[in-house]
């Protein structure tokens, strides 16, 4: 079993390098980097969770930078599970999850980034987007909710917006939880069978599933056009939930480590402080 530094790294394989193609179709959603769902993998996840908890505390104390984690997936892709299993260790004071549903009429009366910008993390915070501004080039494109002339300009708008956030002290990482069409079917079937999961079943999702290929095309374009040096995309193999959690945890822990938050020095001379 690895101790600290010699744990296996798995996320590099998932990174879509800026300028390269994601080529989602050629990536196996069952990829697991040769790992198994065993004690080593449990220790690997625990290692990253410890790193996240430690670094998040420093990020909060420092109060100067922030991290934005964007999570996208097809229905039943595991966004909720990843948030629960990976960000469950985060301090609720400084981690905020925002779920983006179909826009309200007020939101539709503004530009597509209006509601998103308001939800971005404050300094010291981790912000998690459960769905995001990418819906505006995914479901909106697939369902033709706006004309092509409108959505095709959004890739550039998104890159510029994310650049603005990055220039303002927000590190951004984006994970597409990639499940196979077969795995989605199995998860939908389980939702119908299991009384504990029936509340999650939604016939609207079964309709969306019929457009699987169009969604994959839209994801491919979004990732290819918007994986940038300041906001990279990761295609996370997500058929195996335990592996998905490891990858997402590693991506987040590494991102926090890269921004290297530090405890601020005390604002007074602690040696002279008197407590009566």
Residue 205 Cβ vs Mg ion, minimum distance, rounded to whole Å: 5
Q: Are 29 and 238 in contact (CB under 8 A)?
A: yes
The footprint of ligand ATP on residues 135-174 (CB under 6 A) is 135-136, 139-140, 145
Residue 210 Cβ vs ligand ATP, minimum distance, rounded to whole Å: 13
Question: Token pair 């744990």 is at which residue?
Answer: 7
The footprint of ligand ATP on residues 60-99 (CB under 6 A) is 75, 80, 99
Residue 94 Cβ vs ligand ATP, minimum distance, rounded to whole Å: 23
Report the distance separating Cα 75 and Cα 69, nearest Å.
18
| Stretch binding ligand ATP (CB under 6 A), from 14-22, 134-142, 151-159, 163-171 | 134-142
The footprint of Mg ion on residues 73-92 (CB under 5 A) is 75
Report the distance separating Cα 96 and Cα 103, nearest Å.
19
CB count in 10 Å sphere of residue 129? 25
Distances (CA, A) of 266 to 53, 57, 60, 178, 259: 22, 16, 15, 45, 21
Residue 96 Cβ vs Mg ion, minimum distance, rounded to whole Å: 20
Among 31, 60, 100, 234, binds ligand ATP (CB under 6 A): 100
Report the distance separating Cα 236 and Cα 20, nearest Å.
16
Instruction: Give every strand in the sheet of 95-99, ordered side by side.
Output: 15-16, 233-237, 170-178, 66-73, 126-130, 95-99
Report the distance separating Cα 249 and Cα 209, nearest Å.
28
The first and second tokens of residue 133, run together, are 């501004």
Return the exposure string of 11-25: e unless at least 16 CB atoms fall within 10 Å of the residue's CB, then b. beebebeeeeebebe
One symbol per residue from 27 to 66: x for binding ligand ATP (CB under 6 A), - otherwise; what is it?
A: ----------------------------------------
If binding is defined by CB under 6 A, does position 103 make contact with ligand ATP? yes
Specify the residue, 35 or 139, whose C-beta has the smaller distance to ligand ATP.
139
| Stretch binding Mg ion (CB under 5 A), from 53-61, 72-80, 95-103, 231-239 | 72-80
One symbol per residue from 227 to 256: x for binding ligand ATP (CB under 6 A), - otherwise; what is it?
A: ------------------------------
Site of interaction with ligand ATP (CB under 6 A):
75, 80, 99-103, 130-131, 135-136, 139-140, 145, 202
Site of interaction with Mg ion (CB under 5 A):
75
């Amino acid at each position: 079993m690895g101790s600290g530094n010699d744990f296996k790294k798995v996320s590099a394989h998932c990174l879509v390098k800026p300028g390269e193609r994601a080529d989602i179709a050629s990536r196996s959603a069952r990829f697991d980097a040769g790992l198994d769902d065993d004690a080593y993998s449990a220790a690997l996840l625990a290692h990253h969770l410890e790193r996240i908890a430690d670094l998040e505390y420093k990020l909060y104390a420092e109060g100067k930078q922030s991290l934005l984690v964007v999570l996208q997936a097809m229905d039943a892709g595991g966004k909720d599970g990843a948030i629960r299993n990976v960000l469950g260790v985060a301090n609720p004071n400084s981690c905020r999850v925002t779920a983006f549903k179909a826009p309200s009429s007020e939101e539709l009366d503004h530009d597509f980034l209006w509601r998103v910008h308001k939800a971005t993390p404050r300094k010291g915070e981790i912000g998690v987007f459960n769905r995001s501004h990418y819906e505006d080039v995914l479901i909106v494109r697939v369902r033709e909710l706006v004309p092509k002339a409108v959505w095709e300009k959004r890739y550039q708008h998104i890159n510029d917006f994310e650049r603005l956030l990055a220039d303002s002290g927000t590190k951004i990482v984006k994970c597409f939880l990639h499940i196979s069409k077969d795995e989605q079917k199995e998860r939908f079937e389980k939702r119908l069978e299991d009384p504990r999961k029936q509340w999650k079943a939604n016939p609207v999702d079964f309709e969306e599933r019929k457009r699987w290929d169009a969604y994959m095309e839209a994801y491919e374009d979004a990732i290819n056009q918007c994986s940038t040096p300041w906001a990279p995309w990761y295609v996370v193999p997500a058929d195996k939930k335990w592996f998905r959690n490891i990858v997402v945890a590693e991506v987040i822990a590494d991102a926090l480590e890269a921004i290297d938050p530090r405890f601020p020095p005390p604002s007074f001379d602690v040696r002279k402080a008197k407590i009566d």
